[in-house]
Amino acid sequence: MKYLSLFFASLISLLSYSQYTEVINSKRPGFSESPFGVGTKVYQVETGYFYQKNNNPDFFTNRKSRGIDLYLRGGFIWEKIELSTNFKYQKDDRLSNIVTGETYPISGISQFTVGIKYLIYMPKYKDPSKEIRSWKAKMAFDWKRLIPSVGLYAGFNTNALSIDYQAPSFSPKAVILLQNDFSENLILVTNVVGDYLTLNDQRTLGYITTLTYSITPKFSIFGEHQGMFTRYTRSFDLGGGLAYLINKDFQVGLNLRTDSQMDYLNIYGGLGISYRIDRHKDKIKRDKTIDDGSGRIQNNNDGFFKRLFSKKSRRGKPPKKRKSRTSRKIRTRN
């Protein structure tokens, strides 16, 4: 019974860890995804317009694509868990004759993915602002920052798509999410991706790495490299862009990329926005140790089980009141 209680205590501790941030945490404008969720009672919309021109000589490729990409995120149950859906509507000019270059138009819903993200591990870093004894120690690099935060995304690609984009069946998607915070301004996000895992012809394996640098608290730039491998093709893309924070809940961004192999023209551009509805509330507790009895509000960092198993909070054994030295002296004199 003791070990069972400890197991549930550890489980609740993991699920109750807060990853909410005061400023919006957006997946845009890059293609990679952070292991951190948006936080409970936070609902986020990330959308934008994209355009792609592709001169790949392969048969039946899309010469031009444009459309709208919509990404919905929300924290509903626990802090470490995020639910999301990705919806894409696009119009394509698809190659029909490789000799003449003739194309024909298609349009419709090309992607509808639903998934869940879970933060597995987040390392703790030293706070250099608390180092006051040594300037060298304060400015030294914390080597623990080489250990990334780790998350896992699991979802599936639905087949509720337009006829021209339908797959043989729905298929799962899995992503390992890594993030290194080298400093407050420099962040590296790495994703290892497995998509359409049950479809042999469409199965895609790959990676995305994004390095972001915040020039100011509101303006940041990033560079990105992506490699994707299918049964018949492989591609390596280089990209970059910028993001601007209008306020703590509203961000705009620009993304540009191209094929790094330069075998043929393949350019992509995207312009989008991210907005969140923030109803997050931190748990609070009242400290009753103040003499006037009013109590002080502070963040509740102790979990339920931590307070339950604490020696000072066991039922039936209230702490004994210690008599002060002053009161003992008075009684002695009387």
pLDDT in tens, the chain (334 residues): 443 343 334 333 444 455 678 889 899 999 999 999 999 999 999 999 999 988 776 656 767 899 999 999 999 888 899 999 999 999 998 877 766 667 889 999 999 999 999 999 999 877 666 666 666 666 677 788 899 999 999 999 999 999 999 999 999 999 999 999 998 899 999 999 999 999 998 999 999 999 999 999 999 999 999 999 998 888 899 999 999 999 999 999 999 999 876 667 789 999 999 999 998 887 654 444 433 333 333 444 444 444 444 444 444 455 555 554 444 444 444 4
Q: What is the pLDDT of residue 134?
A: 67
Would you state the pLDDT for residue 316?
47
Predicted local distance difference test score (pLDDT) of residue 299: 45
pLDDT of residue 61: 72
Residue 244 main-chain phi, psi, to 5 deg: -130, 130
Task: Considering the chain, tell me which residue range(s) the CATH 2.40.160.40 domain(s) occupy.
Answer: 19-278
Report yes or no: 165 and 22 within 8 Å, Cβ to Cβ: no
pLDDT computed for residue 308 by the predictor: 43
pTM for the full predicted model = 0.76
214-220: list long-range contacts, CB under 8 Å, 24+ apart: 214/184, 214/185, 214/186, 215/185, 217/245, 218/244, 218/245, 218/246, 219/243, 219/244, 219/245
Q: What is the pLDDT of residue 138?
A: 65
Q: What was the pLDDT predicted at 218?
A: 95
- Cα–Cα distances in Å, from 48 out to 244, 254, 330? 14, 9, 77
User: What count of residues does the chain have?
Assistant: 334
Radius of gyration of the chain (CA): 26
What pLDDT score does 289 carry? 41
Per the structure block, which two tokens stand in for 321? 């009141």
> Ramachandran region of residue 276, left (φ > 0), alpha (ψ -120 to 50) or beta?
beta
| pLDDT at residue number 292 | 39
The CATH topology of domain 19-278 is: Porin (2.40.160)
